[in-house]
Structure 1
Amino acid sequence: MKSLLPACGECLYPHSYEVQRSRIGVLRLLCRLFDAGVLAVMLGLMVLAYMFAYGRYTVHHHSDLLILPESSVITASDGTLMGRFSLPGSGYRQTAKLQEMPELLIQAFIAVEDRRFYDHAGLDYKGILRACVNNLASMRLSEGGSSITQQLARSVYLNRDRTIWRKLSEASIAVALERQLSKNEILELYLNEIYMGRGMYGVKSAAERYFGVTDLKRLEIWQIAILAGIPKGPSIYNPVDHPGRSLDRRSIVLDVMRRDGLITDREMKEAAARKYNPLEEAGYGPSAFSYMDASLREASRATGIPENELRKGGYTIETAMSRGAQSAMEQAFSRKEAFPPDVKSRKAEAAMVIINHHSGEIVAMMGGRTPRTGGLNRAVLDARQPGSAFKPIIAYGPALESGRFTPDSLLPDRPYAYGSYRPQNINKVYAGQLPMREALRKSVNAPAVWLLRETGLDYARQFASRLGIKLTDEDNNLSVALGGLHKGVSPLKLAQAYSVFASGGIYREAHTVRQITDRHGTVVYKHVPEESRAISTRTAGEMTAMLRDAVQEGTGIRAQMSRPVAGKTGTTELGLPGTDPKANRDIWFVGYTPEWTAAVWMGFDRTDRNHYITAGSGTAAALFSRVMESALRQARR
């Protein structure tokens, strides 16, 4: 008979085991949720700590980044703009105070970029929430909801990577900026820092580039709307590259401005009807790349400020450049027929400097036929042999100054041997003896070497030094009488030396920079004219008379022009076996009018048996005449 009691394991509560297991599962889930909550809280605290600490540390330790680099400018002697120095990355920025900006421009940017700018403390939570919703809907990180402060933080301290950590860092820095700066300070930095397309940073640079407007308060409504529309996409909404898209964006901005009560319906319609005519790239007159580079180096030497800092410090470098003279020089250098012919795909180079010998100011300079920023500036490079153009500096000038000789003194013109040195006349023809003025006029070699030996090398070297040319120990030989220098000389130094003859014996150091002011208008350097008597008035007058003869009847005849000219040619022979007897390394003309002194050099950068000049120094003299005639005419206008 079977028992009526339940079997072992069949209790009165058949589901108790399952209930117990369920309770345990719930407890485990609660524990996991608790752990997750704790971790979330800890992670949140860590994020808050990061948000609090990172931004404060970054802003405090890198406050120098809030001093925005600004393109320095360089001006000509009449105050007109010659050019701007590019910032690292080849951009340009001009800064402006908030007070210099029209209120409508400021409010337009706020309306378009951050309507609640004055209401939040760096983070626009409504904008962030809206961006999050849109990002979730599109399943990608397409919007950031960045406030103006966040945009400034990203632009100054971070990059444009779309990552969570970058956004956290951006938010952290934005909060720190709001604690350290006022709203107006943040807004001013933003409007000067923001990228506006085509290498322009800040609204002032953009206004000048796109509209030719330098005074921001003269901007019209339609122009303000275009500018306010650019930050959303500088590469696609700037009016030069994409005029159609720019106008479409302008319409949106104008509608926002009307909605916020910044403009009326009528003003919106009138602004929307305005057409944009793109401006050409800003032209500052003569390109003057060589002059600008030389001025930058001079400014750095004068102030002790590194060149890189001068470029991006917002300085204004006022120079002595004459726009008329520089333009005349550039036009002449653009004429191919004025130069020796090209040889095997290489063209002959040239350099020229003009100095106002009454002040020492360099009024024009070309360091090559096609100079560029940072390129080789042959006008200031001590690398060329001056040939006979050096004779007045080292032979005839010292002889006159010594008082032992006059322009009419008879000098021997016959072959001499000075130890192992045996100088020869170019055509190997000798007259026996010549008056000094004729020896100079005909550029005869033998009398110059003899005269240097008679005057003395030490005395002659001291004379040259007073004219601004310091010779080395390797130049302590008689071959310097014919321009055979160990290191070489630059067109600038030769023009400087001849300027002493032109000024009646007064040495005035050649310079390009008149004054330098910083971004606040404070003068940090001003050239103080200094002059000293280098040689006697008599020597300068006698040398000028002889050099005028050299132009009127001698080797410099092609330098003649409508003004009185004194000057001297110079030629350095190639001297390589098997080459053309007329092959030359360098050809020169150095001379002056009553107003200015100039030096011209021509030659190849690398001279060899395949690359040399067969033209004579008359080619350099002709270029001198062409440039100076035009330059002086333009200067007198």
Structure 2
Amino acid sequence: MRSKLKKAMYPIFDAAVVVVILLLMGCLYMALYGEAIVRNHPEAIAQASSTVITDSTGAEIVRFRTQSSGFAEYADLEEMPELLIQAFLATEDRRFYQHEGIDYIGISRAIVQDITHMNWSQGGSSITQQLARNLYLSGEKTLVRKVNEMSIAISLEKRFNKDELLEMYLNHIYMGRQQYGVKAAAWRYFGLEDLRQLELWQIATLAAIPKGPSIYNPVDDDERSKHRRSVILTLMYEQGLITQEQMQEARRVDYTPPEAASVSAAADQPMPDHISAVDTVMQEAARLTGKRETDIQSAGWTIHTGLDSQAQLAMEEAFRDPSRFSDDREDEQVQASMVIVDQHNGEVKAMMGGRNPVTGGMNRAITDARQPGSAFKPIIAYGPALESGHFKPESMLPDKHTSYGSYRPSNLGGQYRGSVTMSFALQNSINAPAVWLLNETGLKQAHEFASRLGIELDQEDFNLSIALGGVHKGVSPLKMAQAYSVFANNGRFNTAHLIREIRDTNGRIIYAYRPENKQVITANTANTMTIMLQNVVSQGTGSRAQLSRYKVAGKTGTTQAAVPGIGSKGNRDLWFVGYTSKWTAAVWMGFDHTDAEHYMRSGSGAAADLFASVMNRAGR
């Protein structure tokens, strides 16, 4: 019997050894896995917050997704009302401050409920476990994931105190509608930036969401949200956090979305009419701070701009109107871009980089790619001549078919008047006098003058053809508007910019624009040019740019298509650059690629008309 008993004990012993080894391996895995994950992924606990861009009034234009592809705004525990914290503890983990990362009582209760209902819907996860899952793991319900979750939770409890863990949890918990954390959710669902302003029913609504973010948030299902809110209020009452009267009152409140339309629009997707401007703001912010755009989106900054939403909307509506683009082809649309700048401080008020802008797409408003044609004459020929002091608007200029070495410019239509005043030549955009004037003033002086207006020309542009806008690399509408703004601002230069200031999550100023208002040409030159350009609009080629309430100074520009078989009536680029006493704007129209099938039949009057439409609607 003793021999048989020994033989029977051997398998039991072997099994016990195997069990012990497995337990030891499990304990070792639990001890090492979480430590390795937390140690090797420090970025997971970064305090990511969505950066916000505002317009000139402080209204939100866009709230960026963080690198987790959601919207977030980090809040310290001290910013959160005690009742909000207690509501989440009551709902998610009432023994949070007693256990060490794993709530064995909660797990036991969950197992009993799972066996009773014959499913695995109850997880029994503590707040630390939920944090571990949110930061490092997927949402799939498997035994391995559960073990990994517990291992990471143990590691997190060793590294952080309870308040730190709770703060991280309340900032990383998914709250539906791509919102992460209670502060982002409070803004999205209630339009509140200060968590201390939350009312009891709002607190309970937020605490109700984590159990089912897609079904318990008030936007997607108000009825379910209200029912779940009632459950949370009952829990809070049972745990002595609120009175019965408070519970009943908070149950009765019906949810209404926040009044500010920008909250829902900015929280779910960027406003479409601001895409070009938003892209440029981010590029400018990256250049100013040395940060990557992706890092800026998650930095929690507030980027204040000078953008004017009314002007931006006016531009968007005009660009949507197909009647303004009669040269559209069946296979390709005419493109256009426009920039409005406040000449008094250089702020960009509105921008469109194309008729159908997309995030990250080509922004034609800031790309130096198009020749400006006659719109360049005030910058390179007439401006320098006025600045030299040797010419006035009434000065007589030769209007003859003249050769300058191998270069022989010609007037449109082949008409030559012998001589004309400088003002008349500009008003009617006559080519021969402009080239003669540039030759008389000198290329060196003309280049320097353009540079003072913010346009740097290359060595390839050291020729007389630039008098007619034949710029080697091309120039952008932004630079054209910036240059003309000097004429509009009595000869003072301000760099065209979108950003007023950048503040970090604590409200500290990271960057603030400092106005230049630098006198780069004489006030007399600027004011004389303004009078001449006003004549262009009132009596000359820019007549379609006239506004009902403001006097406009400006200049048209056209470059020929230069495609065989089209002739002189086909154009490549159409421009109008002009200003009122308030704002300066530049418009370009054309095809991205000009060929025998895609060229502009319209003249620069189409660009002047687009200018007038936008500026009238913008109220400037």
TM-score, normalized by the shorter chain, greater than 0.5: yes
Other-structure match for 1:383? 369
Q: How is 1:117-196 mapped onto 2 (pairs within 5 angstroms)?
A: 117-135=96-114, 141-196=120-175
Name the residue aligned to 2:559: 572
Are the structure 2 counterparts of residues 317 and 557 from structure 1 closer, same or farther at C-alpha, using a change threshold of 3 Å?
Answer: same
Contact 2:276 2:357 in 1 (8 A): yes
- Counterpart amino acid of 1:155? N
Between stretches 101-110 and 236-245, larger displacement belongs to: 236-245
Q: Which residue of 2 aligns with 1:275?
A: 254
In 1, distance between residues paired with 2:32 and 2:598? 66
Matched, 1:262 2:241: yes
Question: What is the aligned partner in structure 2 of residue 403 from structure 1?
Answer: 389
Query: For 1:296-375, what aligned pairs fall within 5 Å after superposition?
Result: 296-375=282-361
| Counterpart code for 2:340 | I
**Residue of structure 2 in register with 1:59 after alignment:** 38
Residue 290 (structure 1) aligned with residue 276 (structure 2): yes
What is aligned with 2:569? 582
Structure 1 position 142, deviation (Å): 3.8
Letter of the 2:108 counterpart:
L
Deviation at 1:222, TM superposition (A): 2.6
Is 1:620 matched up with 2:607?
Answer: yes
Give 3-state SS (helix, strand or coil) of 1:394's partner. helix
Partner of 1:551: 537
Question: What CA RMSD, in Å, does the superposition of the two structures yield over aligned residues?
Answer: 2.3
Structure 2 residue aligned with 1:15: none
More displaced stretch, 200-209 vs 272-281 = 272-281
Name the residue aligned to 1:512: 498
Q: Encode CA deviations 1:529-585: one digit per residue, 9 max, x unaligned.
A: 224332222322222221111111111112222222211001112122223643222
Instruction: Report how many residues are paired.
Output: 612
1:286–1:327 contact (8 Å) kept in structure 2: no
Task: Give 1:140 deviation, angstroms.
Answer: 5.8
Q: In structure 2, how many angstroms separate the alpha carbons of the residues matched to 1:248 and 1:582?
A: 70
Contact 1:588/1:602, CA 8 A, preserved across alignment: yes
Q: Structure 1 residue 597 and structure 2 residue 584: aligned?
A: yes
Q: Secondary structure of the equivalent of 1:569?
A: strand
Contact kept? 1:104, 1:262, Cα under 8 Å: yes
Q: In structure 2, what is the Cα distance between the partners aligned to 1:298 and 1:498? A: 22
Deviation at 1:610, TM superposition (A): 1.8
SS in structure 2 opposite 1:32?
A: helix
Partners of 1:92 and 1:199 within 8 A in 2: yes
Partner of 2:484: 498
Q: Residue 475 of structure 2 corresponds to which residue in structure 1?
A: 489
Shift of 1:330: 2.9
SS class of match (1:282): helix
Return the letter of the residue paired with 1:355: V
1:135 deviates by: 4.5
Cα distance change on mapping 1:144 and 1:481 into 2, 3 Å: same
Report deviation, 1:441: 0.6
Displacement of 1:377: 1.6
Q: Is the 8 A contact 1:236 1:242 kept in 2?
A: yes
1:163 and 1:416 map into 2 onto residues whose CA distance is 86
Provide the secondary structure at the position in 1 that maps to 2:32.
helix
Conservation of the 8 A alpha-carbon contact between 1:508 and 1:531: yes
Deviation at residue 491 of structure 1 after TM alignment: 0.5
SS at 2:412 equivalent? coil
Distance of aligned partners of 1:613 and 1:397 in 2 relative to their CA distance in 1, 3 Å threshold: same
Q: Quote the Cα distance in structure 2 between the aligned partners of 1:613 and 1:114.
A: 68
List per-residue Cα deviations over 1:335-380 (Å, max 9, x = no partner): 3333434221432222111112121222222222333332322111
Q: Does 1:436 align with 2:422?
A: yes
Write the distance in 1 (CA, Å) between the matches of 2:615 and 2:69. Answer: 35
Instruction: Give the alignment of 1:415-564 within 5 angstroms.
Output: 415-561=401-547, 562-564=549-551
Residue identity over aligned pairs, in percent, reads: 55
Distance in 2 separating the partners of 1:345 and 1:247: 51
Local SS of the residue matching 1:288:
helix
The runs of 5 or more residues in structure 2 that have no matched partner are none
Q: Which residue of 1 aligns with 2:72?
A: 93
Deviation per CA, 1:504-545: give whole Å up to 9, x if none: 222211111111111122211111222433222232222222
Matched, 1:221 2:200: yes
The answer to whether the 8 A contact 1:286-1:323 is kept is: no
d(CA) in 2 for partners of 1:136, 1:273: 36
CA distance in 2, matches of 1:494, 1:93: 39
| Alpha-carbon distance between aligned partners in 1 of 2:593 and 2:241, rounded to the nearest angstrom | 65
Shift of the 34–408 alpha-carbon distance from structure 1 to 2, 3 Å rule, reads same
- Structure 1's 34 and 404: CA in aligned 2 closer, same or farther, altered over 3 A? same
Matches of 1:632 and 1:441, distance apart in 2: 26
Output the amino acid matched with 2:225: S
SS in 2 for 1:351: strand
Residue in structure 1 matched with residue 618 of structure 2 by the alignment: 631
Q: Following the alignment from structure 1 to structure 2, what is the Cα–Cα distance between the partners of residues 286 and 62? A: 36
Q: Judging changes above 3 Å, is the alpha-carbon distance between structure 1 residues 29 and 229 closer, same or farther for their aligned structure 2 residues?
A: farther
Residue 18 of structure 2 is matched in structure 1 by 39
Deviation at 1:470, TM superposition (A): 1.1
TM-score by length of structure 1 reads 0.90
Partner amino acid for 1:39?
A: V
8 Å Cα contact 1:153/1:170 also seen in 2: yes
d(CA) in 2 for partners of 1:247, 1:87: 29
Who is 1:27 aligned against? 6
Q: In the alignment, what sits opposite 1:13? A: none
- Give the secondary-structure state (helix, strand or coil) at the position aligned to 2:148: helix
Q: CA-to-partner distance for each residue in 1:1-34, whole Å, 9 max, x for gaps?
A: xxxxxxxxxxxxxxxxxx5xxx545323322322
Aligned mates of 2:248, 2:42 — CA distance in 1 = 44
**Structure 2 CA distance for aligned equivalents of residues 440 and 90 of structure 1:** 54
Are the structure 2 counterparts of residues 370 and 585 from structure 1 closer, same or farther at C-alpha, using a change threshold of 3 Å? same
- CA-CA distance at 1:402 after TM superposition: 2.6
SS of 2:403's equivalent in the other structure is: coil
User: How many Å apart are 1:416 and its aligned residue?
Assistant: 2.4
Give, in whole Å, the separation in 1 of the partners of 2:500 and 2:280: 13
2:97 is paired with a residue whose SS is: coil
CA contact (8 A) 2:327 2:601 kept: no
- Match for residue 214 of structure 2? 235
Q: What letter is aligned with 2:185?
A: A
CA distance in 2 between partners of 1:521 and 1:286 (Å)? 28
| Distance (Å, rounded) in 2 between the aligned partners of 1:473 and 1:138 | 81
Report which of the two structures shows the higher radius of gyration computed on alpha carbons: 1
2:483 partner SS: helix
Partner Cα separation in structure 2 for residue 324 and residue 278 of structure 1: 24
2:51 is the alignment partner of 1:72: yes
Distance 2:298 2:107 in 1: 35
- 3-state SS in 2 of match to 1:427: helix
Stretch of structure 1 that moved more, 609-618 or 292-301: 609-618
TM-score after normalising by structure 2: 0.93
Aligned-pair CA distance for 1:39: 2.8
> Are the aligned partners of 1:77 and 1:318 in contact in 2 as well (CA < 8 Å)?
yes
Alpha-carbon distance, 1:200 to partner: 1.0
User: Could you say what secondary structure the match of 2:157 adopts?
Assistant: helix
**Which range moved further: 153-162 or 426-435?**
153-162
Report if the CA contact (8 A) 1:82-1:286 is conserved: no
**Given the superposition, is the C-alpha separation of residues 237 and 28 from structure 1 closer, same or farther in structure 2, using an over 3 Å criterion?**
farther
